[in-house]
Amino acid sequence: METIHTINTDDLTAKLNKQEVDILHFIDNWLPTLTDWSVDELAHKTRVTESDANAAVDMLILHGLLTNDGDCPVTGRRVLVPHDAALWMRENSETIYNIKQMIDTDLFTSDEIAES
């Protein structure tokens, strides 16, 4: 069973798994410079399979944090961050970062994980 992390705000309650947090963290680091990506690129950048990235993107779309942006013949399925979602991500960037740090065990040695 996967762990679900909840970000609860007045505008939105997002229940996110690890892949969704990883994608939001990656996207948040590029806002406002870039607001659209291919799902394949998100999969590559967050080190997950394309099917896992598609599933995570679908859930982020259901939360209203991404929208479909059509298919590109070169890059495949594309998604876009709507303006309101970009504001929500900026307002909650510290929470997204903290969850990312907590669940990304690759950032720590085995000794550090055991101590925490």
How far is Cα of residue 17 from the mean position of the Cα atoms in its chain?
9
Among the listed residues 17, 1, 3, 2, the one whose alpha carbon sits nearest the alpha carbon of residue 63: 17
Amino acid at 65: L
Q: How many domains does the chain have?
A: 1
Q: Is residue 38 part of a domain?
A: yes
Task: Please tell me the predicted confidence (pLDDT) of residue 110.
Answer: 59
Q: Is residue 116 part of a domain?
A: no
Mean pLDDT over 20-24 rounds to: 94
Task: Please tell me the predicted confidence (pLDDT) of residue 113.
Answer: 52
Mean pLDDT over 84-99 rounds to: 92
Q: Decide if pLDDT at 14 tops 90.
A: no
Q: Is residue 113 part of a domain?
A: no
Mean pLDDT over 30-34 rounds to: 90
* CATH number of residue 26's parent domain: 1.10.10.10
Compute the mean pLDDT over every residue in the chain, rounded to the nearest whole number: 88
Range of the domain at 87: 20-105
Task: Please tell me the predicted confidence (pLDDT) of residue 109.
Answer: 63
Task: Please tell me the predicted confidence (pLDDT) of residue 68.
Answer: 95
Count CB-CB contacts under 10 A for residue 68.
Answer: 13
Reported as a single tens digit per residue, the pLDDT across 39-68 is 999 999 999 999 999 999 999 999 999 999
Q: Is residue 35 part of a domain?
A: yes
